[in-house]
Amino acid sequence: PVFVAAMLAVPAAGSVSTFLLAWELMAVTSLLLVLAEHRHSPAVRSAGLWYAAMTQAGFVVILLGLVWLAAYAADDSFAALRAAAGGLPGPVRAGVFVLTAAGFASKAGVVPGHVWLPRAHAEAPSHASALMSAAMVKLGVYGIVRVGFDLLGGGPAWWWLLLAASGAASALYGILQAAVASDLKRLLAYSTSENIGLILIGVGAGGLFAASGQQGLAGLALAAALLHCLNHAGFKTLLFFGAGSVLRATGTRDLDALGGLATRMPA
């Protein structure tokens, strides 16, 4: 319940301090979920360490970006940040965007900040993996949209080209890794990285259209990204629940050992 409440608090936050507090609470509670079965496997502890290191590194980068932006505002409220953003020097705006986008992309599982994702999703309990994949990683996308479009009011084309390129790299790398994975839950984790990449391509396209003054197409691209957020949340939740049922019934995640499930797990 605390993890879910923290995720709900992130988009409800109206200031830098409340946003960062909710973000860190989400990170800590999700780490506890990843470590839930640490007594049974050293791999769980290793996954927890990877996740803790990457999530805290991402938090520090986000913190730097938002504090840098808040330094030019009257206070740390998002309204004050919006008011101040228009008068910021170009390098400051770019620095804030790059820092925050890098931190949020790491939470979303985008290459190269994805390294925690296949480890944590594979070792966490399946219901926790479902929540993390369906909801938590989407908050990384939310953070990019919130800062890039809302607080900074959009930016030059190169911001969004960079974002779309990172999304394309993540989508390609994720699907290639999923194609050769032999661990059921790692396969699903790499699929998450791939789908987040597709979503970021949509967000990047929206930013590019907005930068060129094509607001209608920008809205369409962002709507497509949002639609795939909802689509991925639905099917990936069901896939992780199904993977959990298979693991409980067979005791293995090894795809090479999971032949004949129709016999072992009749409908």
- C-beta neighbour count of 86 within 10 angstroms: 9
pLDDT at position 263: 78
203 pLDDT higher than 90: yes
| β-pair partners for 117 | none
d(CA 54, CA 52): 6
Q: How many CA atoms lie within 13 A of 212 on its CB side?
A: 14
**Lowest-pLDDT range, 36-40, 142-146, 247-251?**
36-40
154: left (phi over 0), alpha (psi -120 to 50) or beta: left
Average pLDDT, the chain: 92
pLDDT at position 267: 63
The structural domains of the chain, with segments of one domain joined by +, span 2-255
- C-beta neighbour count of 212 within 10 angstroms: 12
257 pLDDT higher than 90: no
Average pLDDT estimate for 190-201: 95
Residue type, 36: A
Q: What is the number of helices (H) and of strands (E) in the chain?
A: 12, 0
d(CA 218, CA 206): 4
**Lowest-pLDDT range, 14-28, 34-48, 52-66, 234-248?**
34-48
pLDDT tens readout for residues 87-97:
899 999 999 99
Whether residue 165 contacts residue 195, with contact meaning beta carbons closer than 8 Å, is answered with no
228 exposure class (CB count in 10 Å sphere: 0-12, 13-18, 19+): middle
Average pLDDT estimate for 10-28: 95
Please state whether the peptide bond connecting residue 112 to the residue before it is cis, i.e. omega within 30 degrees of 0: yes
153: left (phi over 0), alpha (psi -120 to 50) or beta: left
pLDDT at position 248: 86
**At 36, is the pLDDT very low, low, confident or very high (cuts 50, 70, 90)?**
confident
266 pLDDT higher than 80: no
**At 225, is the pLDDT very low, low, confident or very high (cuts 50, 70, 90)?**
very high
d(CA 103, CA 113): 9
Using only the alpha carbons of the chain, give its radius of gyration.
19
- C-beta neighbour count of 213 within 10 angstroms: 8
Average pLDDT estimate for 64-72: 95
CA-wise closest residue to 237 among 171, 191, 177, 174: 191
pLDDT at position 63: 97
d(CA 171, CA 111): 9
Whether residue 116 contacts residue 50, with contact meaning beta carbons closer than 8 Å, is answered with yes
Average pLDDT estimate for 133-161: 94
**pTM confidence score:** 0.91
d(CA 236, CA 127): 11
Average pLDDT estimate for 221-231: 95
**At 262, is the pLDDT very low, low, confident or very high (cuts 50, 70, 90)?**
confident
